[in-house]
Chain A
Amino acid sequence: MPTYRISGLTVVSDVPLPGVPPIDAIADDADVRIAFGRTPEQLEHATSRNVLWEIDERRFLWRLPEIGRFLVTDGTTLDVEPASERSASEVLPFLLGTGMGAVLYQRGRLPLHASAVALDGRAIVICAPSGVGKSTLAAALCGTGCEFVCDDVAALDLDVEGRPIVWADGRSLKLLDRTIDDLDLRDAYEGEVRAGVGKHYVAPRNRATTDAMPLHAIYMLRDAESGSGPSVMPMTAIEAAQMLLHHSYRRRLGLANAQWRPPVEHTAAVLRHARISRFTRPRDMSRLEESIDALLAHARSDASGDASFGVASGT
């Protein structure tokens, strides 16, 4: 069975996973198993429920009309039942996104809706809602020498000393056609994510060679007003904590899961050890280089690491 490394977890799957390079590993030792088969229509004792998903202490059940149903259990199994007439390939992007997000939550990690690159061996995380340009920025940073860590899901965890780390995702970028051309990445094209939706897998330049790296900084990405240049502003601790909550991957799932696995230690470690800032930049692609220079200059401005340059003081 094909085996993969995703966010620090060894994953085996019934079918090949797109946008993820397979690894040589023994399937029996896998952390997570993806299997296609029947799933329950509902959970008997759900503690959180809405029309599309429900959750209990061990399981997350999620249904997408005319696409399929997904069941994640104990952070170890991911069962998928495609809707009739749907092939496995049509449901895989959702399994790899929300499904793996549920796995990370069930395993006590803190996934952020973010991209990340490594600068001098330390992770820079870029948070933003979909469509604001975090994937584009991450891809562009990799063109300047940063290493690619992840796109879309930044899995935060703690090392043995309780310091925050970011697991390398292992997956490819998902970019729009025009972004692939803007960044001159056509030679790294790997295929459509799903037919007809206009997003494509692109192999990142400079994929990180280590599984995890210390978290150095988090930037919350925003568009600048027309005519304004890039700028970086530190966030207060309260703002940073709210931002981490707001930018949790599949936030509502994170909130529901937090009743059993509150990410208190992770949040505290991030606030203590990482620089958290707002990065406002012009959306204009002609100013991308200027934005990258500003971001890298700020990220490099404290080469000594954490503590004194964490979040801004005050509330």
Chain B
Amino acid sequence: MIWLASFPKSGNTWMRVLFSNVLAASAEPKNINELGLLGDIASSREAFDDATLVESSLLTQREIELLRPIVHDDFAASPAPVEPIVKTHDAYDILSDGTPLLGRRARAGVYVVRDPRDVAISYAHFFDCSIDDAIAHLSDASARLAVGSALHLQTRLGGWSGHVASWIEQSVLPTCVVRYEDLLADTAGTFRGVLDFIGIAATDEAVQRATRHSDLAELQRQERQHGFRERPRQAKSFFRDGRAGQWHEQLDERQITAIERAHGAMMTRLGYQTAN
């Protein structure tokens, strides 16, 4: 099993579409609503309840966290026709007994990271909040997704810097770190690097075709035609812009300074240039 991880709005879905298309190796692009990657998302209540035989809405957060490694390892160990590639927005957390929240059975991870200045813009559109609120959430070490959600378990984010640090500094799961901007600049080449890291064989032709089948214009076309099941009600569209560097146009000086002040060290570490 492979974990496909990221902070929200950092390119996780695009990476999943790429995987789906390269594994399918079909003449037509995969339907974005039927990507066929086993496992869906780590925070799925339905999957959790199914595996544990318990209704997660009756459990405390601590009880859920005790069970999550068991659930994930059970899934990883289950017979499957193809290797699951499972999305997660969880920070890479270790429980008090040393067990990773995401379990131990996954063999590798892919962590997609994106400039937090662009993440804030995308976050604001997706969650229908102001950019200032998005920036505050990115900087909130106690931030969680899906609080009070009927369909998803709570997901600890830990703020953007905390989230990134948790994944790139852990030494439990071999993880390939991919910058969204590199994937944008050279999709086939960057994705080839990811496939090589994980050990998935694919010809150059297959990678090129998957790249074409996963480009933003195709994803937007599909969403216009038949919708995308992961678009929340409050967002006008899921596949919205996708460009790198939108922050130059859409953030003011105050907002840029706020992000760089909170996350400058990690941004520099990842190769993002900051003004400060």
Task: Give the Cβ gap from B215 to chain A, nearest Cβ, in Å.
Answer: 25
State whether A98 touches B51 (Cβ < 8 A).
no
Complex Cα distance A67/B52, Å? 13
Main SS of the interface on chain B?
A: helix
Does chain B have a CB within 8 A of A50? yes
Q: Closest Cβ of chain A: how far from B120's Cβ, in Å? A: 25
Q: Is B53's CB under 8 angstroms from A253's CB?
A: yes
Which of B49, B50, B66 is within 8 Å of A66, CB to CB? B66
The contact of B67 among A65, A98, A131, by CB within 8 Å, is A65
Question: Within 8 Å CB of B67, what residues of A?
Answer: 52, 64-65
Interface flag for B46 (CB, 8 Å): yes
B46–A129 touching, CB < 8 Å: yes
User: Which residues of A have CB within 8 Å of B50?
Assistant: 251-252
Q: How far is the CA of A225 from the CA of B45 in the complex (A)?
A: 21
**Which residues from chain B contact A65 at a C-beta distance below 8 Å?**
63, 66-67, 70
Q: Write the nearest CB–CB distance from B13 to chain A, whole angstroms.
A: 19
Are B52 and A52 in contact, with the CB atoms below 8 A? yes
Q: Is B59 an interface residue (CB 8 A)?
A: yes
A130 near B60 (CB under 8 angstroms)? no
B57/A197 in contact, CB under 8 A:
yes
Does residue A132 face the partner (Cβ distance < 8 Å to B)? yes
Given known contacts A129-B46, A130-B46, A132-B150, A194 and B58 CB-to-CB distance under 8 angstroms: yes
Interface size class of A (residues with CB under 8 A): 20 to 34
Q: Given A52-B52, A53-B53, A131-B151, check contact A94 B45 (CB 8 Å).
A: no
Q: Which residue of B lies closest to A101 (CB)?
A: B53
Contact with A along B44-80 (1 / 0, CB 8 A): 0110011111111111100100110010011000000
- Contact of B189 with A by CB under 8 A: no
Residues on B with C-beta less than 8 A from A52 are 51-53, 67, 70
Instruction: Give the interface SS of chain A, mostly helix, strand, loop or mixed.
Output: loop
Partner of B45 from the list A51, A131, A198 (CB cut-off 8 Å) is A131
Contacts of B52 in A (CB 8 A): 52, 64
Q: A131-B151, A199-B58 are in contact. Are A50 and B74 (CB under 8 A)?
A: yes
Task: Let me know if B233 is at the binding interface, CB within 8 A.
Answer: yes
Whether A226 is near chain B, meaning CB under 8 Å from some CB there, is yes
A93 touches B (CB below 8 Å): yes
Q: Is A197's CB under 8 angstroms from B53's CB?
A: no
Contacts of A198 in B (CB 8 A): 57
User: Chain B contacts of A67 at CB under 8 A?
Assistant: 63
Given known A-B contacts A51-B74, A67-B63, A226 and B57 have beta carbons under 8 A apart? no
Shortest beta-carbon distance from A219 to chain B in Å: 18
Residue A62 at the chain B interface, CB threshold 8 Å? yes
Find out whether the CB atom of B60 lies under 8 angstroms from the CB atom of A196.
Answer: yes
Question: Which residues from 214 to 237 on chain B have a C-beta closer than 8 Å to any C-beta of chain A?
Answer: 227, 233
**CB–CB B51/A252 < 8 A:** yes
CA distance A48 to B63 in the complex (A): 24
Report which residue of B46, B50, B57, B149 has the largest number of chain A beta carbons within 10 angstroms of its beta carbon.
B57
**Residues in B193-242 with C-beta less than 8 Å from chain A:** 227, 233
A249 CA / B58 CA spacing, docked (Å): 16
Within 8 A of B (CB), among A128-177: 129-133, 152
Say if the beta carbon of A191 comes within 8 Å of chain B: no
From B49, B58, B60, B70, contact of A94 by CB (8 A): B58
Please state if A131 and B53 are interface contacts (CB–CB under 8 Å).
no
Q: Which residues of A contact B51 (CB under 8 A)?
A: 50, 52, 252
Within 8 A of B (CB), among A24-72: 50-53, 62, 64-67
Question: Smallest CB–CB gap between A246 and chain B, Å?
Answer: 10
Residue A240, interface by CB 8 Å:
no
A130 touches B53 (CB 8 A): no
Listed residue (B50, B52, B59, B151) with the most chain A CB atoms within 10 angstroms of its CB: B52
What does the 1/0 interface line of A94-125 toward B look like (CB < 8 Å)? 10011000000000000000000000000000
Contacts of B227 in A (CB 8 A): 225
A203 at the interface (CB under 8 A from B): no
User: A271 to chain B: closest CB distance in Å?
Assistant: 24
B54, B57, B149, B151: which contacts A64 (Cβ < 8 A)?
A: B54
> Is the beta-carbon distance between A130 and B49 smaller than 8 angstroms?
yes
Q: Which residue of B lies closest to A93 (CB)?
A: B58
* A250, CB-defined interface residue at 8 Å: yes
Asked if B58 contacts A51 (CB within 8 A), the reply is no
A193 close to B (CB within 8 Å): yes
Distance, CA A9 to CA B41, complexed state (A): 38
Per CB-CB distance, the 6 closest pairs between chain A and chain B, nearest first, are A131-B150, A250-B53, A65-B66, A129-B46, A98-B53, A226-B233
The contact sample of 8 A-B pairs, CB cut-off 8 A, is: A52-B53, A64-B54, A129-B45, A131-B150, A133-B150, A193-B58, A199-B57, A250-B53
Given A67-B63, A132-B150, A252-B51, 10 further pairs, Cβ under 8 A: A50-B51, A52-B51, A62-B53, A130-B150, A132-B151, A194-B58, A197-B57, A197-B58, A197-B59, A198-B57
